[in-house]
Chains A and B, each alone.
Chain A
Amino acid sequence: DAGVIQSPRHEVTEMGQEVTLRCKPISGHDYLFWYRQTMMRGLELLIYFNNNVPIDDSGMPEDRFSAKMPNASFSTLKIQPSEPRDSAVYFCASSPGTVSRNEQYFGPGTRLTVT
């Protein structure tokens, strides 16, 4: 298996622009997670899905952030409009769920820079 795939790996955009991050989970995994990592706040869970349904979005910072999972093999995290404080590394992770005791597999991340 190719593992969790994220694109793009790097994104540089100007404040106010829309940003879309993409994730392809490992085939057969029922859970998908979006995290954000910064020096100041560490690793934060933004939202997660089970069987394509959002379960907990309490970590989404504000309405500018939205996430979708239209099918089992694809998810997006969108920021509109983007702000400099959104600069961070965004990770996607997938998991088979409780059958694997919640073990998660992480993608390589997308480094977002908003100028």
Chain B
Amino acid sequence: AQSVTQPDIHITVSEGASLELRCNYSYGATPYLFWYVQSPGQGLQLLLKYFSGDTLVQGIKGFEAEFKRSQSSFNLRKPSVHWSDAAEYFCAVGAVNQGGKLIFGQGTELSVKP
């Protein structure tokens, strides 16, 4: 069965520092990969997505993610974190045989120190 693992439940970084949030998936073929962000009291907003092609994808708010097939990973990165990036981040996996569903990871909560 497909699964998504976000190993870090909570990460704290200083404002201006770089960020990397980890995501590992389990799936036999190339999945569709997504990162969503949830600010407090809000719904989930799509940050970026990977379907095929260039393994480095750019998203909104200065985020990027890299698909590494050999490591079954899709880690989210940002070179310089802003205080407004404090939120919860979800990695998700979709596939042709999932009938339209996405499988979500448990989320990583990001705190930003001033």
Report A-chain residues with C-beta under 8 Å of the C-beta of B95.
102
Report B-chain residues with C-beta under 8 Å of the C-beta of A33.
101
Q: Which of A96-115 contact B (CB under 8 A)?
A: 97-98, 101-109
In the complex, the answer to whether A98 meets B44 with C-beta atoms within 8 Å is no
In the complex, the answer to whether B102 meets A104 with C-beta atoms within 8 Å is yes
Report B-chain residues with C-beta under 8 Å of the C-beta of A97.
100
Q: How large is the interface on A (under 10, 10 to 19, 20 to 34, 35 or more residues)?
A: 20 to 34
With A42-B106, A43-B104: A103-B46 Cβ-Cβ less than 8 Å: yes
In the complex, the answer to whether B34 meets A103 with C-beta atoms within 8 Å is yes
In the complex, the answer to whether B49 meets A107 with C-beta atoms within 8 Å is no
- Supply 20 further A-B pairs (C-beta < 8 A) apart from A101-B49, A104-B44: A33-B101, A42-B107, A43-B104, A50-B100, A56-B99, A95-B100, A101-B32, A102-B94, A102-B98, A102-B100, A102-B101, A102-B102, A103-B46, A104-B92, A104-B102, A106-B43, A107-B43, A108-B42, A108-B43, A109-B42
Binding site for B on A (CB under 8 A): 4, 30-31, 33, 42-43, 45, 48, 50, 55-56, 91, 93, 95, 97-98, 101-109
